[in-house]
Amino acid sequence: MSSVPEPRKTLDPDQVAFWLARHPDFFVGREGLLQQLAVPHPETQGAISLLERLVIDLRQRAETAESRLEHLLESARHNEAQYRRLRETLLALVAAPDRDALAQALATQLSEHFGTSAVALWCPASLSDSEPTPPQPPRQVLDQHASARLGALLDGRTSRCVKLSVSDWKCLLPHVKAPRKAGSCAITRLAEGEPLGFLLLASPDPETYRASMDTLFTEYLGDVVARLLTRLGGHE
């Protein structure tokens, strides 16, 4: 009576990988085996030796690491440039002797360092009661109509990026020629213990200030401007 052959057992690939991982010295003294092993080429059809495949993998890892490093360096250079521009802007604002000079310095610095097309600094009438001459653009006296429009655009928020219609541009940026089509703007409410007005940054490009954009920079700038307004006699 002949015996029934046992079914042939096959090794599970995961078990082989696990075993090799636990025995990293398996190929010591078996270097010839490494040269005999062939694996699929990562980019073309056919097989290559294991050593060649390792060289390709190491090269790809090196290229990936180099790309990540270059990205980090580029981010660092960008952040440093942003810091320098912001530093120059803040120094110019702090040096402003009055509120008109503050608004003009704000518009100039934002235009030169950040490409901001138009700026308006809206302050309530109480801020200019003691001034012998009307405020100079881009500073504007905040009236009821402008306050209502700015409040509507903010929609209850402290800061916001929104589309700016041609009619709103003419109302909120009367010192700057309005574009033919709707633009966009970033608005932040100014306050230092009490409402001090609004800061408006605008562009004729509807994509410059998108609703999904972060408003941290605008809010930070608004906080600085509010404190400077207070220091320069911004409230009675």
What residue spans define the domains of the chain? Answer: 32-95, 98-231
What radius of gyration do the chain's Cα atoms show? 33
Mean pLDDT of 51-76: 86
Strand partners, 58: none
> What are the tens digits of pLDDT across the range 142-163?
999 999 999 999 999 999 999 9
Taking alpha carbons only, the member of 48, 55, 112, 57 closest to residue 86 is 112
The residue with greater pLDDT, 210 or 22, is 210
Cα gap 104→45, rounded to integer Å: 66
Q: Which residues are CB-contacts of 125 (< 8 A; sequence separation ≥ 6)?
A: 141, 142, 143
Can you give the pLDDT at residue 31? 66
pTM of this structure? 0.70
- Structure token digits, residue 232: 């320069």
Cβ-based neighbours of 106, under 8 Å, separated by 6 or more: 89, 93, 119, 121, 138, 199, 225
Q: So what's the pLDDT on residue 4?
A: 56
* pLDDT one-digit tens code per residue, 101-139: 999 999 999 999 999 999 999 998 654 445 556 789 999
Tokens describing residue 74: 């580029």
H-assigned helices in 95-115: 99-114
- Let me know: does 161 contact 213? Beta carbons within 8 Å: yes
Preceding peptide of 138 cis, ω within 30°: yes
Instruction: Scan for tokens 């490409």, then name that residue.
Output: 115
Look up the CATH number of domain 98-231.
Answer: 3.30.450.40
